[in-house]
Amino acid sequence: MSKVHVKKGDEVVVIAGSEKGKRGKVINVYTDKQRVLVEGAKMMKKHVRKSQQNPNGAIIDREAPIHASNVMKAELFDARAVKRGAAPAPTT
């Protein structure tokens, strides 16, 4: 098990990939695969079978894991933006 630079509950910014620039909280950390689940980033469709909660089945939007190297803590990202002279990204 290796160490990851973010933990559950941290606010992060996606710095690489198709979701670049999105902000969100870390929902879960998978240390064995070096991946994190970020709220509102990398949404995917999941088909669920019939159950008591979904009597007809459903298609649910949920987050997919992102590699930990593609996220950065929001406070470090904002500090870096201020240092470069640009305004920090707005929080959503």
Q: Does 2 map to a domain?
A: no
- Reading the block at residue 48, the tokens are 């669920």
Nearest-10 Cα torsion for 42, 43, 48, 52: 120
23 within 8 A of 92, measured Cβ to Cβ: yes
pLDDT at 92 over 80: no
Give the pLDDT of residue 20.
94
57 within 8 A of 49, measured Cβ to Cβ: yes
pLDDT at 24 over 70: yes
Structural domain span for residue 67: 11-84
The predicted-structure confidence for 37-89, as pLDDT tens digits, reads as follows 999 999 999 999 999 999 999 999 999 999 999 999 999 999 998 888 866 66
The predicted-structure confidence for 2-14, as pLDDT tens digits, reads as follows 889 999 999 999 9
The residue type of 53 is Q
Q: Write the CB contacts of 37 (distance below 8 Å, at least 6 apart in sequence).
A: 26, 27, 28, 29, 30, 63, 64, 65, 66
Residue 65: CATH number of its domain: 2.30.30.30
How many structural domains does the chain have? Answer: 1
Q: Does 3 map to a domain?
A: no
pLDDT at 1 over 70: no
